[in-house]
Structure 1
Amino acid sequence: MQESWRWFGPSDSISLEKIKQAGATHIVTSMHDIPTGDIWPETEVIARNEKIKASGLCWNVVESIPLHNDIKTRSGNYLELIENYKESIRSVGKAGIPAVCYNFMPVVDWTRTNLSYRMPNSSQALRFELTDFAAYDVYMLKRQGAELDYTQAVLEKAKSRFSEMGEQEQLLLEKNIIAGLPGGEGSYTRESIKVAIEQFIALGTEGLRHNLIEFLKAVVPVAEQSGVKLCIHPDDPPFSLFGLPRVVSTAEDVRKILTAVDSAANGITLCAGSYGARCDNDLVAMAEEFGPRIYFVHLRNVKREEDGSFYESDHLDGDNDMVGLINALLKEERRRKQAGESLVSIPMRPDHGHLMADEEKSEGVKPGYSYMGRLRGLAELRGVIHALKHLNT
């Protein structure tokens, strides 16, 4: 497996040199300075790739080329935006970068309610708390019909929780939910998010799925011609928020995506933490079923709670069978090698990490993307990979 690290570009406080010191050999990054919907110029992508190469690292996955909401709703100037997306794929292909991770989440990207959840060892993790989310949705955002999306037990807890919140705690919760998290796309105000939510609710699940498939029909042929694999990231969390439709949350969702556009260039990102936030997603079975179309892996673990809440645990200490998942992925790599396929080694990265030690005092550390937390995660995952390879030789 290709040991990779997410880098947020030249402005990232974690330098390419530090990434090499962590033992990573590959970089996962994006052109963060280019506005969503604009074309990625070939010259700029190549220049960024040359900078990464000069550091002794290899850019193996674009994460991501963000999709404008107009593409997801097929409204506004979506046709022009799709053409721009095609050009960006061509630029990536000409730069020799083999994969593009993207997502089709409506309105909000990956969502957490608490960015500094205190763990037993005093490090800080990311957490999604359903009670807090419901408190925001029903009592702060006051979304029409919101109370219909929660059980009575959750509503009662949310009401009590909201009554205990001070103004600053309320504002922090809102910021965590709608202001945009690292690698996500954009931010909203309370009023603008209501408008966006209503648009996607009106579209519905099948409408959103239809728009995803139409997008893939348009761009997958370009990816094929450019030598680029597209790998869709799952919804995070993999269930409805704000009553919004979800179309990349389960194994059945994946089957529909891969079947609708049956091309080797149409693949998936197996994010263990996202899919694993649902207890009915069997990650090992998904790796075995979809192995040939897995082009990128996020190795992250979670501890699930009965009401749908979860927090991000240590990489090897959660409800997901990380050892079993890695073993299935290594098995897929062996299959590819025996079949003589060109793309054998699967890019992986330690996804998110706890905030710990001196980094707690540092400014500018992106939630989930601390250096020490991810370094620890990568080291643990590397140990599992080496042990399994040894056992299978």
Structure 2
Amino acid sequence: MGLEKTWRWFGDKDRVTLADLKQMGIEGVVTALHHIPNGEVWPVEEIRKVKGQIEHFDMRWSVVESLPVSEGIKTHNADYPRLIESYKQSIRNLGECGIDRVCYNFMPVLDWARTDLHYKLKSGGEVMFFDFPTFVAFDAFILNREGAEKDYPPEIVKKAAQKAQQMSDEEKEKLAYNIIVVTQGFINGAVDSSALDFKQAFLDLIDHYKEIDHTQLRKHLSLFLRDVIPVAEEAGVKLCIHPDDPPFSVLGLPRIVSTQDDLEWICNQVDSISNGLTFCTGSLSVNRRNDLSGIVKKLGSRIHFTHLRNNVFLPDGCFHESGHIEGDVDLFPIMKALLEEQQSRKERGREDIRIPVRPDHGIKMLADYEDDANPGYPLIGRLKGLAELTGLELGIERMLAEK
């Protein structure tokens, strides 16, 4: 039994249809109710509608990605009681409809960050790039966030200042819009294009975390888990937190899902199989101290969902995505550890032996240039990645079987 092949689908507006996914050999669809505002209950009838669309093509709604955690839950503000009850009811409704995996994240304000959405590879393909000095230029010299220069290494701030001086006003505005709006808009981001002053709205959200440090945000995550995991257990749902992307502090905000220690701490807050992890090689690998296959071996029983892709690492904390097999991340021991974990579940008699895996961000290539896909989600580039990952998986399965 191989890993469950899944694909992120953005609903009826997605140019890749469910019929396309069926032709591609996809077994499970990863999607969400993108039209439901953050903090509102996901109604049973809306869940069943999407589930029915997927099952019409003999696929399953494998994972919810994501059921957004509102900023009011992360900051534990006065609206927390209402927001947490809505979240718990959405979990109950998903369980009632037979949806048993929910991916979420606890990243403050900014879900994920890239500074260049169209970085050209030598092959001619395009990927996304994170240039640390450019991001600091955005934070300290475009947003002009108070105290930003103190939150980064001096040598990076110096390079950031030079980059900001070289940028035109138009380039600065485009960089800010891409980071705040474009990369977040299709994932229920905190600030959308309707904001009259999107930069000020973003700064206002960051300001909510002035008194929340690493320890306090951990406390808020622990409170969240203690509230929702019993509900998830009762509903037959497994929650799986997504790592921080990138896995280090930006914008002066705390990061608490970046290391193996963080992941172990999360699993220990509520000792339940419903309190699990989304294992993302693209995010976790950026922290070069993380031993990815070691994380699978140590915490594999709590991995309920997997994102696989690759990166190329550059000086100054910079990196760019590089598809799925090629890059600085060795996928072989990671895939091997995942398959061994799945086999171990089977031998131990666990009912939930399946591990959904999806090809994460892909290289924009060929006819992808004719399409207007969400950043990081080209059709052909991800399909290439799925084929590569499937080949790697089959080779390892054969090797393990012969042993």
Quickly name the TM-score band, shorter chain normalised.
over 0.9
Question: Mapping of 1:289-300 within 5 angstroms?
Answer: 289-300=298-309
Using the alignment, how far apart are the partners of 1:39 and 1:184 within structure 2?
14
Deviates more, 1:200-209 or 1:278-287: 200-209
Task: Tell me the equivalent position of 1:243.
Answer: 252
Task: Tell me the equivalent position of 2:25.
Answer: 23
Question: Mapping of 1:23-62 within 5 angstroms?
Answer: 23-62=25-64
Task: Tell me the equivalent position of 2:348.
Answer: 339
Unaligned runs of 5+ in 2: 193-197
> Aligned residues, how many?
392
* Secondary structure, counterpart of 1:311 in structure 2: strand
Shift of 1:180: 4.5
Match of 2:117 among 112, 115, 118: 115
Output one character per residue of 1:305-347: Cα deviation in whole Å (capped at 9) or x when no partner: 2311111112111222211100000000010000110011200
Match of 2:374 among 363, 366, 375: 366
Match of 2:133 among 131, 141, 146: 131
Task: Tell me the equivalent position of 2:364.
Answer: 355
Using the alignment, how far apart are the partners of 1:385 and 1:333 within structure 2?
12
Shift of 1:370: 0.6
Match of 1:281 among 260, 273, 290: 290
Using the alignment, how far apart are the partners of 2:367 and 2:303 within structure 1?
36
Task: Tell me the equivalent position of 2:16.
Answer: 14
* Secondary structure, counterpart of 1:297 in structure 2: strand
Shift of 1:34: 0.3
Using the alignment, how far apart are the partners of 1:372 and 1:353 within structure 2?
8
The answer to whether the 8 A contact 2:121-2:127 is kept is: yes
Shift of 1:359: 1.9
> Which amino acid in structure 2 is aligned with residue 315 of structure 1?
H
Task: Tell me the equivalent position of 1:227.
Answer: 236
Task: Tell me the equivalent position of 2:195.
Answer: none
Using the alignment, how far apart are the partners of 1:290 and 1:342 within structure 2?
18
Output one character per residue of 1:170-213: Cα deviation in whole Å (capped at 9) or x when no partner: 11110121115242523261112222212213211111110001
Using the alignment, how far apart are the partners of 1:123 and 1:237 within structure 2?
22
> Which amino acid in structure 2 is aligned with residue 371 of structure 1?
L
Shift of 1:138: 1.1
Using the alignment, how far apart are the partners of 1:130 and 1:265 within structure 2?
35
So what's the TM-score if we normalise by structure 1?
Answer: 0.98
Task: Tell me the equivalent position of 1:104.
Answer: 106
The answer to whether the 8 A contact 2:38-2:188 is kept is: no
> Which amino acid in structure 2 is aligned with residue 276 of structure 1?
S
Match of 2:329 among 320, 324, 328: 320
Using the alignment, how far apart are the partners of 1:120 and 1:186 within structure 2?
35
Question: Mapping of 1:113-262 within 5 angstroms?
Answer: 113-181=115-183, 182-183=186-187, 185-187=189-191, 189-262=198-271
* Secondary structure, counterpart of 2:209 in structure 1: helix
Using the alignment, how far apart are the partners of 1:383 and 1:174 within structure 2?
39
Output one character per residue of 1:2-42: Cα deviation in whole Å (capped at 9) or x when no partner: 00000001111110111122221110000000000000011
So what's the TM-score if we normalise by structure 2?
Answer: 0.95
Shift of 1:262: 0.8
Q: Which runs of 4+ in 1 moved over 3 A?
A: none
Deviates more, 1:209-218 or 1:178-187: 178-187
> Which amino acid in structure 1 is aligned with residue 10 of structure 2?
F
- What is the alpha-carbon root mean square deviation over aligned residues? 1.1
* Secondary structure, counterpart of 1:392 in structure 2: helix
Output one character per residue of 1:276-296: Cα deviation in whole Å (capped at 9) or x when no partner: 111001100001000000000
Output one character per residue of 1:139-196: Cα deviation in whole Å (capped at 9) or x when no partner: 1111111111222221221122111112221111101211152425232611122222
Task: Tell me the equivalent position of 2:386.
Answer: 378
The answer to whether the 8 A contact 1:284-1:321 is kept is: no
Shift of 1:350: 0.2
The answer to whether the 8 A contact 1:109-1:180 is kept is: no
> Which amino acid in structure 2 is aligned with residue 167 of structure 1?
D
Using the alignment, how far apart are the partners of 1:287 and 1:200 within structure 2?
32
Shift of 1:367: 0.7
* Secondary structure, counterpart of 1:171 in structure 2: helix
Using the alignment, how far apart are the partners of 1:305 and 1:107 within structure 2?
26
Output one character per residue of 1:72-126: Cα deviation in whole Å (capped at 9) or x when no partner: 1110311111000011001111111110000000011111111000011011001
* Secondary structure, counterpart of 2:261 in structure 1: helix
The answer to whether the 8 A contact 1:276-1:320 is kept is: yes
> Which amino acid in structure 2 is aligned with residue 375 of structure 1?
L
Match of 2:318 among 301, 304, 309: 309
> Which amino acid in structure 1 is aligned with residue 228 of structure 2?
V
Task: Tell me the equivalent position of 1:3.
Answer: 5
The answer to whether the 8 A contact 2:191-2:201 is kept is: no
